[in-house]
Amino acid sequence: MKVSVQSVNFNIDKDLMNFVEKKVESLEKFNDNILGAEVFLKVQKTKEKENKISDLRIMIPGNDVVVKKHSKTFEEGISTAVDSLKRQLLKRKEKQKA
């Protein structure tokens, strides 16, 4: 699976890039038809502590699955987004079986 990571309003470091790729690639266990993934990491210029936005888009035949999370850190946002995507992929797989 090809994982595309883009950062907005900051420069991404190698550790964060590796973390994102590893987490997103773990989704392949839940759906064999994943064509690719796009990850957008953004920093909002606000006074709120949860100013980091993690936007994940998984491309599968038929419909894409998109999740957007606000968090204090990108690691936290990616983890919660991936968990949410896992649930959606499992639900979609169960529907196909029925």
In sequence order, what DSSP letters do the residues of 17-40 get, joined into one string? HHHHHHHHHGGGGT-TT--EEEEE
Q: Give me the chain's average pLDDT, please.
A: 89
φ and ψ at residue 30, rounded to 5 degrees: -95, -15
Q: Tell me the residue range of the domain where 40 lies.
A: 2-97
The CATH number assigned to the domain holding 55 equals 3.30.160.100
Does the pLDDT at position 90 exceed 80? yes
Mode of pairing for the β-strands spanning 36-43 and 2-8: parallel
User: Residue 31: is its pLDDT beyond 90?
Assistant: no
Q: What is the pLDDT of residue 8?
A: 87
- pLDDT, tens digit (0-9, with 9 covering 90-100), for 11-27: 899 999 999 999 999 99
Provide the domain count of the chain.
Answer: 1
Q: Distance between CA 23 and CA 18 in Å, rounded?
A: 9
Give me the helix-helix angle, 14-25 and 74-97, nearest 10°.
Answer: 10
Report which of residues 56 and 1 the model is more confident about: 56
pTM over 0.75? The answer is yes
